[in-house]
Amino acid sequence: MKKIIHFITAFAFFAMLLSCGKNSQNGTKKQGALSSNAAEKVYVAPGEYDEFYAFISGGFSGQLAVYGLPSGRLFKVIPVFSQDAEKAWGYNEETKPMLNTSHGFVPWDDLHHPDISQTNGLLDGRWVFVNGNNTPRIAKIDLTTFETTEIIELPNSAGNHSSSFVTENTEYVVAGTRFSVPIPQKDIPIKDYKGNFKGALSFIAIDPEDGGMDLKFQIMMPGFDYDLAHPGRGASHGWFFFSTYNTEEASTLMEVNASQNDKDFIAAVNWKKAEEYISAGKGKKMPAQYAHNVYNDQTHMATSTIKDEVLMLDASELPGLVYLLPTPKSPHGCDVDPSGQYIVGSGKLSANLTVHSFQKMLAAIEAKNFDGEAYGIPILKFDDVLAGVVDQAGLGPLHTEFDGKGNAYTSFFISSEVVKWKLGTWEVLDRQPCYYSVGHLMIPGGNSREPFGQYVVAMNKITKDRYLPTGPEVTQSAQLYDISGDKMELLLDFPTVGEPHYAAGIRADIVMKNSRKIFKLEENDHPFAIKSESETKVVRDGNVVHVYMSTIRSHFSPDNIEGIKVGDKVYFHVTNLEQDYDVPHGISMIGANTSELLIMPGQTETFLWEPKEVGVWPFYCTDFCSALHQEMQGYVRVSPAGSALPLSWSLGED
């Protein structure tokens, strides 16, 4: 009998264990899809459109990826700072100048923070601005073509990180330096960092008509590290806020030495005051070398100009330009709520969030109630500017976004979660785990007066077991949460390109109506363009040969070329004569030491081929353009270097 009891007990125990395991598994799945209609919420039926565009940076990929929300479908990877053989970006002759810098051709960068242009504090969907960290640059992507049309280098900067955020009328795109450096650069001992290294905050004026970028001025700041930034809006329009760390001004073993101070600062910069100082002639012009690269949609070519001067305002010498707000524990995120009233600092080594009040800041400035100064810049008293603290909200806060309904959402890296809390009462309302190690968050319209508070996207650094394994390197990932209700709900995981570092999102209808379908052939001002096959020609200038070529379904003109010699430099200038939507052509030539071309309708692109061997060498269309795509090919006859064979070209002649 006793044995039986034991047996029953053991059996019951096992049964419970078993059912327990089962429950937990089913529970997980259910939570993901069946019990909550998550699948329905992210399903965009074939042929239908997503509600939002999400521009998610590729981090170390150097590119910007375009996704749809809520589906998470990838539409396009826009090449920005990295060469892209698929689109010939940085390979064809037209776009090489876009990657020019004062250091020469730099074919890669680390792309971090996209921000969408605004009018009156609302997203206008005209341009996306992004920053390159490593060789400091800001790029502009035109949302009619979804192509990078301008890149400006930033002098006196290094590790261009607190960038590229726009003011509420896109008056400026603002960029702060992560690393302070000697300004101007000079040969000095690294241990002399303190006091000798400076940080530059760059204000790039944006032309309201064409988005043209002009480095209007820089503000010289103490040698701190400038991490992230956001513009004031509404009442605080005219101010810009930058988080800082390493206010210790250490130059080695930063993980220890940059964490000694209990508080660093959020620097509040009054850029309207900067404009007044400039009008009053207080700016100083200083020599600086930086590239300004502009792509023209009519010539289909980029130009690169090296500029040699920048206007500098010294924050230590100009009262009222900058104030420092003490903020605990090496703040990373520096986020301004939609009303412009609150500035949220996320001390990345803290468990708390610190929220500053813009009104209290103004009052403290008015009262001149300072707690000392740093290099002549007044430090405000922590308690004077503090609006509130979100206490023990999680571990390792990074970034806060807003839903426009009075709630804020903060990512916590160490505890790997997104936490919803209430502005004003600072109470935590909800928390959801991220899989895993979330960095930044994005609510479409987050950096504006009116966020579209329907979804939040979490961008995760680590995925481990979340997807099918692909060797040691596995995809990083985005996670979509529905935030329309009281509680957040995880809807979807989707893999991303490179490191999904930061993102900007916008309602699709604002952007899609402006999207271009073709480039008009009659507006093509490329110097080597041809507008019809009758203009086809091949011109020799010494050992340089220019081929004026065209494409149309399904042939090249010319498709046979003779009279090319070993040692020639042959430029194929290829114009796509198509004027239909979505009919690009491509071309590549055997042995060309470059990428293919991918030419949109009405566009001209150029690649260089340097034949090294005699023979007859084929080229072909690399984009599946038509039913007769496989017939779209041609030959080049290459003769010895001293050959007297004249140039000839043809299409359809035997």
Partner 1 sequence: MKTIVKLIGVIFCFSAMLSCKNNAATETGDTNADAPSENAGTQDLGQAFLKDDEATPNVLDIAVGSPDHTTLVAAVQAANLENALVNAGPLMVFAPTNAAFDKLPEGTVENLLKPENKDQLAFILKHHVTPGKYDKEFLKKFKTLGQASNENVPVEVKGDDVYVGGAKIIASIPAGNGIVHVVDAVILPSN
Residue ranges in contact with partner 1 by CB under 8 A: 2, 5-6, 9-10, 12-13, 16-17, 19-20, 23-24, 26-28, 30-31, 35-36, 255-256, 259, 262, 329, 349-352, 392-396, 413-417, 420, 427-433, 435-437, 461-462, 464-465, 487, 489
CB of 505 to partner 1, least distance (A): 25
Q: Indicate the DSSP class of residue 97.
A: G
**Nearer to partner 1 (CB atom), residue 160 or residue 350:** 350
CB of 418 to partner 1, least distance (A): 11
How far is 340 from 362, CA to CA, in rounded Å? 13
**Nearer to partner 1 (CB atom), residue 16 or residue 616:** 16
CB of 19 to partner 1, least distance (A): 7
**Nearer to partner 1 (CB atom), residue 20 or residue 512:** 20
Question: Residue type for 250, please?
Answer: A
How far is 244 from 322, CA to CA, in rounded Å? 13
**Token digits of residue 220:** 């010289």
Q: Are 170 and 117 spatial neighbours (Cβ–Cβ below 8 Å)? A: yes
**Nearer to partner 1 (CB atom), residue 36 or residue 145:** 36
CB of 346 to partner 1, least distance (A): 13
**Nearer to partner 1 (CB atom), residue 44 or residue 349:** 349
Q: Are 312 and 220 spatial neighbours (Cβ–Cβ below 8 Å)? A: yes
**Nearer to partner 1 (CB atom), residue 428 or residue 518:** 428
Query: E strand or H helix at 383, and its extent?
Result: helix 382-385
CB of 9 to partner 1, least distance (A): 4
CB of 369 to partner 1, least distance (A): 26
Question: Residue type for 376, please?
Answer: G
CB of 31 to partner 1, least distance (A): 6
CB of 461 to partner 1, least distance (A): 7
Q: Are 421 and 393 spatial neighbours (Cβ–Cβ below 8 Å)? A: yes
**Residue in this structure with the two tokens 């490179």, named with its chain if needed:** 498
- Picking from 555, 630, 557, 622, the residue whose alpha carbon sits closest to that of residue 592 is 622
**Nearer to partner 1 (CB atom), residue 487 or residue 537:** 487
How far is 544 from 400, CA to CA, in rounded Å? 56
- Picking from 252, 194, 264, the residue whose alpha carbon sits closest to that of residue 227 is 264
Q: What is the 3-state secondary structure (H, E, C) of 101-140?
A: ECCEECCCCCECCCEEEEECCEEEEEEEEEEECCCCEEEE
CB of 259 to partner 1, least distance (A): 7
CA 217 to chain centre: 22
**Nearer to partner 1 (CB atom), residue 103 or residue 487:** 487
Q: Are 177 and 156 spatial neighbours (Cβ–Cβ below 8 Å)? A: yes
CB of 433 to partner 1, least distance (A): 4
**Nearer to partner 1 (CB atom), residue 13 or residue 624:** 13
CA 622 to chain centre: 29
- Provide the 10 A C-beta neighbour count for residue 93: 19
Percent helix, percent strand, percent coil in the chain, to nearest 5: 15, 45, 40
**Nearer to partner 1 (CB atom), residue 284 or residue 487:** 487
CB of 423 to partner 1, least distance (A): 16
How far is 135 from 139, CA to CA, in rounded Å? 12
Going from the C-alpha of 354 to that of each of 350, 389, 397, the distances in angstroms are: 10, 5, 10
**Nearer to partner 1 (CB atom), residue 352 or residue 550:** 352
Question: Residue type for 318, please?
Answer: L
Contacts of 31 (CB under 8 A, 6+ apart): 490
Question: Residue type for 249, please?
Answer: E
